[in-house]
Structure 1
């Protein structure tokens, strides 16, 4: 992204779009709670329980949907808070849009597939309409960030002469005026992660993304394209919820989000922190669901009898969840402060003995010229 700031109108439009995204997903969560016999049934459905709530219907949401709601609300808050750097606010919009697009695209054709004819046609129709609306809103977020930027306007110089005041508060004779020098916090745009945090994010997300990508390559080789395609593009055998992407598509999408955020962290881009938070939250849910599924299957009680692949799957779930927690802790730390506000400020200082002056200001001569 070119150097600039989001206009107030762009941030307001972004906040409104984020709220609409959150409302669409929240509506389907409320629907699942309404059709569930017990509220806990929705929780178990998010953790991989395949039992349907009723005949001719299905669960609509997965563990990803509450995270999308929270992510959209957080992005909306980032737009209305002026303390959030413009580059970070733009990164929040882009990260949310990328996650929504990657996780919703396959549902466009999945929800129109013939093998869903056993479900209520009105239900699948509304779900597909929701997906199309969310994809349109995600595209709108990309447009808002691309079109709603302007160059940072120059700030007029500000004269701060606090150091040229006498003990009683009266203005002392001013010897010189210098420009203020911002504090040195290292190179990078406001909101960019510090080097330590950026390195942690890049290593953990890069490793998690490569592990997930490696598993997708393994399953492609192990299953063959015919069976792998069902888990990638959707099939009745892998269907879990209306708004849940196919299992292999989800794994590939999370790998792409993780590797993209890791690459941004390597560059210490301002958008790397919101991108890392988005990817880490989704990875944490992915790893937690896998761990719960493994525990409910009793695998942890008979580890010695499991195959090598089962050990690797359980280890992957633990690593992905732990890496996601580490990334969340690193990405939630504040980034570089905005020091551009003082670039054009000027400071005056006097010539009295012991007069405080800016460290980069030249000292007055031992004897001032007559009439100074």
Structure 2
């Protein structure tokens, strides 16, 4: 099914599922804005402020939720726009589904943990229902991609209307040269740039997770990986170490797709880069608010490495966003079988690759 395309029905179903994901994310963001004393409190909560909005409740969203909202809307738009290549539309659905699945899976057991009993039971129940619904919708996106593809029909040759008479010859159209690859695939330069930077960022995050596992030991690291009251920030925010590991997986997967110049590599790179940029930006804001940048030279090497990692990941993600946002290879398949006719007059306009008529025509021509 390498050359298959999404059917119109599959793209429509994908758009509806993406809109449902966007509505779920928007609903919880609105809820946080309602319970906040001031809208700016939600912003500071997304940047790591641990203060709760009121007693017996908690923030529901994190800085990742606005990105999931925007990503779902962008994926929905990609499905309904016919100008977007089918392979890119598939990549948008798969990238969104992978991000939702990886970032929501731990919340299934976190939101049912005993240490959340101090919160409003109805609130945690609704949050858990939301997570299960999001996971079901992510699975539905995988099903749509797996079952909603077919091979494109062949395009018969056609003659250009209004061809000059008499006709000397016909030639097949030559598609514009955009390089090898499927429509929507990234060009070599942006693909290599995105792949290398995403790979480096993903390996860096994975390295930190390995470091924390060895530094903290499994007992403490497990709390940050699977959830605990000591690392709880928001209802829909994954545990800190799970989030780092999930972003590393997304970055490495997007890097592999980009280096292969797969058409899905561009939406995958955009998704991973946006999440990485937000993750690093939150870390940088926390570092700045703690006043560590002003005395960075006096801080331990470990803290300097953490700050340097955040700067590198943010810069790499920003470059990847710019590279992946560039248009991919054009779709020239619609002109592959087109036939162009041209006349024999010396001043007759001919396709650029058509041979000119001879100076002396054969007898009886």
Pairwise TM-score range, normalised by the shorter structure: over 0.9
Structure 2 partner of 1:89: 89
Over 6 Å off, 4+ runs: none
**Alignment partner, residue 167 of structure 1:** none
**Structure 1: how far apart are the matches of 2:297 and 2:354?**
72
SS of aligned partner of 1:102? helix
Give the equivalent residue in structure 2 for 1:148. 148
> Match for residue 137 of structure 1?
137
Matched residue SS, 1:178? strand
Q: TM-score, length-normalised on structure 1?
A: 0.96
Q: CA deviation at 1:317?
A: 0.6
Instruction: Give me the whole-angstrom Cα distance separating, in 1, the residues matched to 2:364 and 2:58.
Output: 90
Q: How far did residue 355 of structure 1 move?
A: 2.7
Q: Give the match for residue 57 of structure 2.
A: 57
2:205 pairs, out of 200, 204, 212, with: 212
The separation in 2 between residues aligned to 1:26 and 1:172, in whole angstroms, is 62
Aligned to 1:192: 185
1:273–1:331 CA contact under 8 A, matched in 2: yes
- Secondary structure of the structure 2 residue equivalent to 1:299: coil
Distance in 1, Cα, partners of 2:278 & 2:177: 38
Gaps (5+ residues) in structure 2?
A: none
CA distance in 2: counterparts of 1:34 and 1:325, whole angstroms? 32
Cα separation, 1, equivalents of 2:284 and 2:24: 29
- Alignment partners' CA distance in 2, 1:161 and 1:197: 39
1:363 aligns with one of 356, 360, 365: 356
- Alpha-carbon deviation of 1:349? 1.1
CA distance in 2: counterparts of 1:371 and 1:175, whole angstroms? 13
d(CA) in 2 for partners of 1:265 and 1:26?
A: 30
In structure 2, the residue matched to 1:241 is: 234
Once the two structures are TM-superposed, the CA of residue 161 in structure 1 deviates from its matched residue by 5.7
2:174 aligns with 181
- C-alpha displacement at 1:151, in angstroms? 0.2
Task: Provide the rounded CA distance (Å) in 1 between the counterparts of 2:183 and 2:175.
Answer: 13
Aligned-CA RMSD value: 1.1
Structure 2 equivalent of residue 223 of structure 1: 216
Matches within 5 A, 1:275-294: 275-294=268-287
Across the two proteins, how many residue pairs are aligned to each other? 365
In structure 1, distance between residues paired with 2:316 and 2:197: 5
CA contact 1:231–1:249 (8 Å) conserved in 2: yes
**What CA distance in whole angstroms lies between the structure 2 residues aligned with 1:189 and 1:304?**
49
Q: Deviation digits for residues 169-214 of structure 1, max 9, x if unmatched?
A: xx33101111111122110000000000001101110110010000
Q: Could you say which residue in structure 1 is the equivalent of 2:309?
A: 316
TM-score (ref. length: structure 2):
0.98
Q: 1:24-103 maps to which residues of 2 (within 5 A)? A: 24-103=24-103
Distance, in Å, in 2 between the alignment partners of 1:354 and 1:292 is: 68
Q: Retained in 2: the 8 A contact 1:90–1:271? A: yes
